[in-house]
Amino acid sequence: MKSFLRKLTGKHEVSLAIIMILMFVIIDILCGGTFHSFTNIKDIFRNNALTLLMSLGMLLVLLTGGIDISITGVLAFSGMTIGLMMKNGVTHNVFLLFLIATAIGTVCGLINGLIIAKGKVSPIICTLGAMYIWRGMAYIISGNAWASAQDVSGYSDFGKDGKIGPYIILGVAFILFIVMMKWSSFGRKVYAIGSNREAARISGINVDRVQIAVYTIMGALAGLAGALSVSIYASAQPNMQTGKEMDVIAACVIGGVSMSGGRGTVLGTLLGGIFYAIVYKALPLVGLDSIWQNLIKGIIILAVVVINVVTQRAMKRQNLARREI
Amino acid sequence: MKKLLCIALSILMIIGMLSACAPGIDKSQASYALVTKSAGNPYNEKEAEGFEKVMKAMGVPAGNYIIKHPEAATVDAQINVINSLISQGVSCIAIAANDANALSSVLKEAKAAGIKIVTLDSDVAVEDRLTFCNQAGVTQVAQALVDAVYDIAGGEGEYAILSATSQATNQNAWIDAMKAITASDSKYSKLTLVEVAYGDDENQKSTDQTQALLAKYPNLKVICAPTTVGIAAAAKVLQDKGSSVKLTGLGLPSEMAEFIGDDAAHSCPYMFLWNPIDLGSLAAYASIALAEGKITGKVGDTFTCDMENSPYTLTAVEGTTASEIILGAPFRFDSSNIAEWAKVY
Amino acid sequence: MAGKSGRTISATPDRSVLKRILSWEGALVVIFIGVLIMGRVLSPSYTLNNVLREMPKYLSEILIALPMGFILIMGEIDISVGSIVCLSTATATFAGNAGLPFPVVILVCLLTGLACGALNGFILTRWPELPPMIVTLGTQIIFRGIAEVALGSGGSASYANNADLEILGKKIGPFPIAFFVVLIAAAIFIVVLSKTTFGRKLYAIGSNRTAAAYAGIKVNKIRFIVYSLAGLMSALCALFILTTTFGANTTTGQNYEMDVIAMCVFGGIATTGGKGNLFGALIAGFSIVCLRIALGQININTQLILVIIGLLLIISVLISGITQSDWFRKKQLAAKQKKAEAAK
């Protein structure tokens, strides 16, 4: 039992969960007990479904030691494309549109993967370029117009408040990823590459192929998030979710994913994503002057990252001390 | 290596060549430019549409009018665009400013280069421009919004405002005017403004803010959103929830058609806006009149054009000797006319 | 990729690497001239005077590209520079409006940047296991957040006495002062990087941080200095931004970090660290600036400009990537063998 406890407290997820529960309670008190209501928790997941969904792909990318900052560009491009398809009356079939958006994302991701794996381009540069390109393409195809709520009516019922569509997508994605990362050989290969690329190569893993797969999955999720975004907000705008790629990366890092690769879990990512979601949700609720909200958000992110490192160090030291005794 | 270099270079050249299809400026005639707030917003696109329509109608050759949507809604992007227009030597620039002060330096440079400056939608410091095409008087807009809140709330109760960013000059001016109106007239004494929230013209943030308003103020009756992104996001939240809280504000009819209606199933009974196409047209007519010397930007100048309220007279901006041209009163959109206007803009 | 771990601290680059770098810089010069010719052909207004007149606004970004080059060579990243620019313009504006003499205003501006950079440096050296991208993301939001709070509702403040600022915006001949400042700063940074032990230590840290620490390099001290330097240079950039905006705005400096990183990478600096030099970044910076001015003058869609820069970025890195790839090397080897056989 004792060793189990020790094992537990040594985990990043546990320290993060404790911080989060504390924060949740404080916010709940500040809001006069309205924060833990069912609708509020439901809204937390729905409003941040995009970040949560993409953080899964980002987990894979970060595990291989890479990074992808083109995701919101891809999201905007795929979302804008299906928005325009509905606007011009091509189709209103929800399933088909989700499929198209995901396919667009997959292709964008595949291109990233090929350039990074085969072209030996560093991931941040490739995806920086891709970010400019896909975001720009979203603007260009939109012709400076939006697909409005009327254009996407019917389709947007899928992500409407009270419908379970977004939650199902999130749930399925997380379960799939937990299974994949824990029990599939692909998951193990991803960890192997991130821990030591050369060793992985020598042990017979096709590093290039895994890398391509990882970026393709990321792209597919970004495309899916594009479709989901249009559905949840009932609007396709070329500037949607600008800058949110950093939120996704930060959510992963807060969740304990290492940016140098090899370390990180799906559970941690989920916790990091929820942490971010709580911050977003709580800032307007706690009665803070809106002009202060960005500053506070920045401080919270930085503080959590630092606190996490500090607690990790303390736990390591403690565990070490115990071992010496 | 050399081969690859050549490829890279030729790609560069091809891109350049392709993009150079636009005809150049004919220097023997006046040339005009419109600088909107940013790319990717249909409101700005409609302004550009109106501007272009007039330019074509007035026989300005295709190369002599330039429409620029800066890459982002920042002063940085606008300064770069204006700098480029100064280099090209246009005769007149019409601009919807992203910041009242920060464009001062570059606009002075433009003025020194002999370029005539007109502003539309959002003004700059009055000494940096000749005249301002105002979509509607500030108090006019604020009065319409306050009356709408008063009417929808049934004369009393709590209301909140969901604005764009806390720095948006137009929105701030309207909100200040709304506060002044409610404070000065006892008719509105039973209305209480509980909060001004900012959605930063982002869908997600506007949604979060709207939900926060609903959670924080259970007695809330009306939300007033004087911004096109915010009103659409808030309308979606309220309508999805089937909330009893109603919405009004300023929005594009095409984006809001889904949400406007008198029954409980629609979240917005009515809202307002001016016609951005007309605003763009007015800016175009004013530019042409200035370039041709028909007006000089002094208060009292008049010019005629092919628009509803023609002839337009330059009136004084409150408290100054600078001039502005007011497009007209804000237009009301409700269930009776929304379907028709949704097709237009 | 493989070369990264193979490089030792004292080693000078071997001939083939040197050749490659040289040729990349040669290529950049050609591209730069190509851009100028393209601009001249496409736009009648693309004259020396006009280009130099439009330049200061973009030029100031090159000032940040120099320390960013240092940071990238160390294998790290700083995405808070744009926000530091924003905060520095704000403090300078407040200082100026408080009636302080202009040299003091300059000092306040530079100190603000230095303090911001030092904060980044402090956090990153106090907890070295923190990823720079996340820390500077946090400070990015914080620095802009402070500016937002300071500037209050309205989000902008204008600099009352802009006669002072006009001094900085003056020209010597057709050349703006910013142009000379950039050249001088670039010269200093290039010399520091290529001729001093400090520069060599940067490469060492970028190649292998742990090894560098074992070799007796005070890694954290150097990292602290470099991040502080990035803050300082961002503030210098802010000073020149002030000459074009005459005040502060909460959106000032948005996305500068991306533009600056693009300049460095286009100039041949690898983000994985340990490779590249600033001379390339300088030419790349000028190329991008001149390209943007040219594309602006032919009035293409502003978003298309971003797409073109994105494409250029990927293509340029792809070229150097392909020449390094196994596939390309095998092909070259095969070609050499064929030649040798033919000679026989």
Please check whether residues B115 and B142 belong to one and the same domain: no
Best C129, C209, C317, C329 member to test A by mutation, with max A CBs in 10 Å, is C317
Please check whether residues B50 and B131 belong to one and the same domain: yes
- Which residues does chain B have with pLDDT short of 50? none
Best A48, A86, A239, A286 member to test B by mutation, with max B CBs in 10 Å, is A239
CB-nearest partner of C322 from A119, A128, A294: A119
Nearest to C87 by CA among C218, C241, C266, C252: C252
pLDDT of the residue at A57:
94
Please check whether residues B269 and B292 belong to one and the same domain: no
pLDDT higher for C41 or B286? B286
Bridging pattern class, strands B302-303 and B246-249: unpaired
Alpha helices per DSSP H over C43-176: 48-73, 81-97, 102-126, 132-151, 162-168
Work out the number of other CB atoms within 10 angstroms of the CB of residue A164: 10
Placement of tokens 């991701």 in the chain: A109
Best B172, B207, B240 member to test A by mutation, with max A CBs in 10 Å, is B240
Q: What's the whole-number mean pLDDT along residues C311-333?
A: 73
Number of domains in chain C: 1
pLDDT of the residue at C166:
80
Q: Number of Cβ pairs closer than 8 Å across A and B?
A: 101
Please check whether residues B231 and B289 belong to one and the same domain: no
pLDDT of the residue at C104:
93
B196 close to A (CB below 8 A): yes
- C267 vs C284: CA distance, rounded Å: 5
Any domain includes C134:
yes
Nearest to C46 by CA among B304, A77, B87: B87
Best A62, A118, A120 member to test C by mutation, with max C CBs in 10 Å, is A120
Query: Would you say the C-alpha torsion B126, B132, B135, B137 has a positive or negative sign?
Result: positive
Any domain includes B2:
no
ipTM, two decimals, is 0.86
Q: What's the whole-number mean pLDDT along residues C250-270?
A: 87
Does residue C328 register a pLDDT over 80? no
pLDDT higher for B214 or C57? B214
pLDDT of the residue at C1:
36
pLDDT averaged over chain C?
84
pLDDT of the residue at A29:
86
Domain range enclosing B230: 138-273
pLDDT of the residue at A156:
81
pLDDT of the residue at B8:
60
pLDDT of the residue at C135:
93
pLDDT of the residue at A5:
59
Tokens of C288: 């991008």
Tokens of B150: 């008063």
Chain A residues within 8 A of C144 when measuring between CB atoms: 294, 298
Find, in chain B, the residue whose alpha carbon is nearest to that of C317.
Answer: B8
pLDDT of the residue at A1:
52
Please check whether residues B130 and B158 belong to one and the same domain: no
Whole-number Cα distances in Å, B92 to B116, B263, C247: 5, 48, 25
Query: Would you say the C-alpha torsion A198, A199, A200, A205 has a positive or negative sign?
Result: positive
Alpha helices per DSSP H over chain B: 2-19, 42-57, 75-88, 104-112, 138-153, 169-184, 203-216, 228-241, 253-256, 276-291, 338-342
Tokens of B96: 């919807």
Q: Are C307 and A132 in contact (CB < 8 Å)?
A: yes
Find, in chain A, the residue whose alpha carbon is nearest to that of B216.
Answer: A285
Please check whether residues B241 and B230 belong to one and the same domain: yes
C311 close to B (CB below 8 A): yes
Any domain includes C336:
no
Number of domains in chain B: 2
- Enclosing H/E stretch for C175: strand C175-176
Any domain includes B337:
no
Whole-number Cα distances in Å, C79 to C134, C256, C259, C270: 9, 9, 11, 16
Local structure of residue B300 (DSSP, 8 states): T
Torsion of CA C50, C52, C58, C59, to 10 degrees: 180
Chain A residues within 8 A of C1 when measuring between CB atoms: 120
Whole-number Cα distances in Å, A146 to A222, A225, C30: 20, 18, 41
Gap from C88 CA to chain B (nearest CA, Å): 15
| Res. A8 pLDDT band, cuts 50 70 90 | low
A294 close to C (CB below 8 A): yes
Q: Are A259 and C133 in contact (CB < 8 Å)?
A: yes
Work out the number of other CB atoms within 10 angstroms of the CB of residue A309: 15
Chain C residues within 8 A of A121 when measuring between CB atoms: 314, 317-318, 321
Does residue A225 register a pLDDT over 90? yes
C323 close to B (CB below 8 A): yes
- B249 vs B260: CA distance, rounded Å: 12
Burial classification of residue A127, based on how many CB atoms lie within 10 Å of its CB (0-12 exposed, 13-18 middle, 19 or more buried): buried
pLDDT of the residue at A135:
92
Tokens of A112: 């990233």
SS3 B243: coil
pLDDT of the residue at C3:
39
Q: pLDDT tens digit string along A91-136?
A: 888 899 999 999 999 999 999 999 999 888 888 889 989 999 999 9
Q: What's the whole-number mean pLDDT along residues A296-306?
A: 88
Q: Are B105 and C169 in contact (CB < 8 Å)?
A: yes
**Which of residues B240, B273, B306 is at a domain's end?**
B273
Q: Number of Cβ pairs closer than 8 Å across A and C?
A: 141
Any domain includes C38:
yes
In chain A, where the domains are located: 48-265
* CATH of residue C287: 1.10.3470.10
Local structure of residue C12 (DSSP, 8 states): P
Work out the number of other CB atoms within 10 angstroms of the CB of residue A118: 17
Does residue C12 register a pLDDT over 70? no
* CATH of residue B48: 3.40.50.2300
Q: Chains contacting B with at least 3 CB pairs below 8 Å?
A: A, C
Domain range enclosing C135: 2-324
Any domain includes B21:
no
Any domain includes B247:
yes
Please check whether residues B143 and B127 belong to one and the same domain: no
A42 close to C (CB below 8 A): no
- A51 vs A54: CA distance, rounded Å: 5
Any domain includes B23:
no
Does residue C219 register a pLDDT over 70? yes
pLDDT of the residue at A235:
87
| Res. C154 pLDDT band, cuts 50 70 90 | confident
Does residue C110 register a pLDDT over 90? yes
- B96 vs B75: CA distance, rounded Å: 11
Please check whether residues B56 and B151 belong to one and the same domain: no
Any domain includes B94:
yes
Chain C residues within 8 A of B39 when measuring between CB atoms: 301-303
